[in-house]
Structure 1
Amino acid sequence: MMAIWPDWQGDLDWVELPPGEFQMGGRDEDKFSSAVELPRHCVRLSAGFALSRFPVTCGQWRAWAGELPAANAARVADDLPVVGVTWPEAQAFCRASGGRLPSEAEWEYACRAGSDGVFPQGAWLDPAQANYGYDEAGRKVGRGALCPVGSYPSNAFGLADMLGNVCEWTADGWHAHYEGAPRDGRAWTEGALPGRRVIRGGAWDHLPRVLRASWRDWAEEDARWDNLGFRVARDGS
């Protein structure tokens, strides 16, 4: 599938992000924070970078590859985020479009957009702010499915769907803590567990606790989940 068009002639809607620093990881007052989000540490990004405003869509993937991964329903709408894409396939799309996957630190910096709380939106998350599945009592509150990208309010940087709808691949390998993590925003791959990559953001079928800015988990590089997509980063112009 990936060999059909090595270069993609389409266009992504880019958001330019400024250099900056932020506190990465879980907060002491966050009852849902876990050891994998610690220790909280300062990350300084000395250069700006760009991130696609939306996760990559089915229409964009189909224009590049000619067909959708099997995890996407038949005749799926072009404005839905593509899912069921493996980490190597996501990397290939990023390269073809002149970009790369964001590092985990870049992703969290972009998600927080200058905020420092558990949720960028405020003290808690409301179903009107993101596409997620259930409240913390297990009651269904969401749509129960993917929704078109940009259906919910963008963050302070102008990025849409950073939390909810689909989880997103990052460039980092999986480490079960932040001890020894880079402080400059680059992807952390040294010493990572082989074949595992960090995912971020939470999805349409998750609880609010998964849509926290610091939440992190991993997936095997060949995973084809129906709630896992990606967006594209590129170095600043």
Structure 2
Amino acid sequence: MDKPTIQLIDNIGLWQNATLEAQQAAIASLLNTTNLTEHFEFIAIEPFSCANLTFNIARFKHIKTNMVFHLIPGCEEYKVGLSPERYQMVVDEFGRSCMPLDENDYEQSYPIKLAPFFMAEFVITQAQWESVGGRKAHRDNAPSAGIDVISKEEVAMLFKPFNLRLPCEMEWEYACKAGSNSIYYWGDEPDLSKAWVSENVPFKADDYRNLTFEEQKPANAFGLVGMIGNFAEWVEDDAYEYNTGVPSQIPHRTGLQSPDGILRGGWLGYDWNLNRSTLRIPCSTSAADTGIGARLAVSLHDLIHDEQS
């Protein structure tokens, strides 16, 4: 693949400032100079807007699973977690108990680098789960409803043969924020038009069900759906406090024999105190509870490396 192409996709700033024609040429070069078409079918580059942010995002269909993925450009200096002022806003509003794991990474003083990756548009649905051999859902929902009550271990095992994995925690957070650095990807105030939470779920507690893709609130500025509210989502990392590890695109491993995993994004059964872009909840990796789901990812560079080696 030619150098200008990879530079454009590696850097969200360069990608955002490029013309649509340059973006289309970069994707065409990516498809023509690698074997990416063995894994993905290109759909289109489409604009997505949220609040005051708009990004053109390349959309693909994963051939073996029919899942839709968005190619998320890399970032040279991604600011992890909440800024100091927003950290204090959250604590003042909800109390320190709203942070099961810390969300302020050294006051955002040490940005990290993230390489480009494919991120699933939505969590794994019931139909997708069962089509690749997942066990039958614990309740009957519509085929396009997300599948929950799935463990981190099940997801990793089931999708490894398809070259798909859980996103690392920083990939997930970066994809959720979608260019923002606010408490939510639409701003600093809760907004019931943007996410399903306990205050606005369209059913009574006794009638709990999983919401379909069609029922979700609007996508974020990367075109990703249901990243706050909806389901708590597994990521690849083991649970840890920011002051004991340095966030990166490499999943964090604690070295413990049976470490907890991390859930991101909140859940529609929680109030706003546990629904935001930077929320981190520790959970046993074997847990398979109501409201726990996952979306999938794969690194662009991993695919290219595998194809060229």
Secondary structure of residue in 2 paired with 1:198: strand
After TM superposition, the score normalised by the length of structure 1 is 0.85
Q: Which runs of 4+ in 1 moved over 4 A?
A: none
Provide the residue aligned with 2:80 in structure 1: 24
Inter-partner Cα distance in structure 1 for 2:179 and 2:249:
15
> 1:138-177 maps to which residues of 2 (within 5 A)?
141-144=200-203, 145-150=209-214, 151-175=216-240, 177=241
Greater shift in the superposed pair: 101-110 or 193-202: 193-202
Provide structure 1 residue ranges, at least 5 long, that are not aligned to the other structure. Answer: 1-7, 135-140
2:169 is the counterpart of 1:109 = no
- For the pair shown, the structure with the greater C-alpha radius of gyration is 2
Identity %, equivalent residues: 24
How big is each residue's C-alpha offset from its partner over 1:103-160, in whole Å with a ceiling of 9 and x where there is no partner? 11111000000100111111212222111113xxxxxx22244211252100011111
Q: Give, in whole Å, the separation in 1 of the partners of 2:187 and 2:125.
A: 28
* Equivalent residue letter for 1:54: F
Query: Which of residues 182, 185, 189 is equivalent to 2:253?
Result: 189
User: What's 1:52 paired with?
Assistant: 120
**What letter is aligned with 1:62?**
E
Aligned to 1:201: 265
Matching residue of 2:286: 222
Q: Which residue identity lines up with residue 68 of structure 2 in the other structure?
A: D
Report if aligned partners of 1:173, 1:192 keep a CA contact under 8 Å in 2: no
Q: Which runs of 5+ in 2 are unaligned?
A: 1-62, 204-208, 305-309
CA offset at residue 66 of structure 1?
5.7
Structure with more of its chain in helix, by fraction:
2
CA distance in 1, matches of 2:282, 2:65: 30
**Partner letter of residue 67 of structure 2?**
L
Q: Which moved more, 1:121-130 or 1:49-58?
A: 121-130
CA shift, 1:61, in A, is: 0.5
| CA RMSD, Structure 1 to Structure 2 (Å) | 2.1
Between the aligned partners of 1:81 and 1:221, the Cα distance in structure 2 is 19
Determine if contact 2:239/2:254 at 8 Å carries over to the other structure: no
Equivalenced residues, count? 220
Corresponding residue SS for 1:231: coil
